[in-house]
Amino acid sequence: MSVLERLWKDKMAVYRWEEQTINNITSSDEILVATDVKCQYSKGSLNDVGEDGAPNLVNSYTLFCGINTDIKEGDKVIVTQRNGKKITLIVGEGFPYTNHQEFNVKRSEKA
């Protein structure tokens, strides 16, 4: 466990769509890939200037996890925050670092 992972208080379950063949019928099913994975869910704000010159505030969301975590772009994760609140996210582009990974994520209200 890295030093960063010791600071993370959130946990996530990772789901991925995979094709399965049962009785010669192939279907896509959402499969649980990992559960109780330590992570950190973070919200940031970006200031952008709109076309009319007025500032726009845009929220950005980032998910931090261990370097060996099996997570890919397009996966669905359900993060359980330290207060018990569950948030469903869709994983975007990832950035691997020496001891951890960071992913841009989008909140999913209908997952």
Residue 95, pLDDT > 90, answer yes
CATH number, domain at 65? 2.40.10.370
Instruction: Let me know: does 75 contact 15? Beta carbons within 8 Å.
Output: yes
Among residues 67, 66, 68, 65, the alpha carbon closest in space to that of 89 is found at: 65
In this prediction, residue 16 carries a pLDDT of 97
Phi, psi of 53 (to 5 degrees): 85, -5
Confidence of residue 49 (pLDDT cuts 50, 70, 90): low
Work out the mean pLDDT of the chain and round it to a whole number: 90
Cα(first)–Cα(last) distance of the chain, in Å? 30
Domain that holds residue 68: 3-107
In this prediction, residue 11 carries a pLDDT of 98
**How far apart, in Å, are the Cα atoms of 62 and each of 44, 92, 93?**
8, 9, 10
Residue 46, pLDDT > 70, answer no
In this prediction, residue 74 carries a pLDDT of 96
Please give the tally of structural domains in the chain.
Answer: 1
Residue 111, pLDDT > 60, answer no
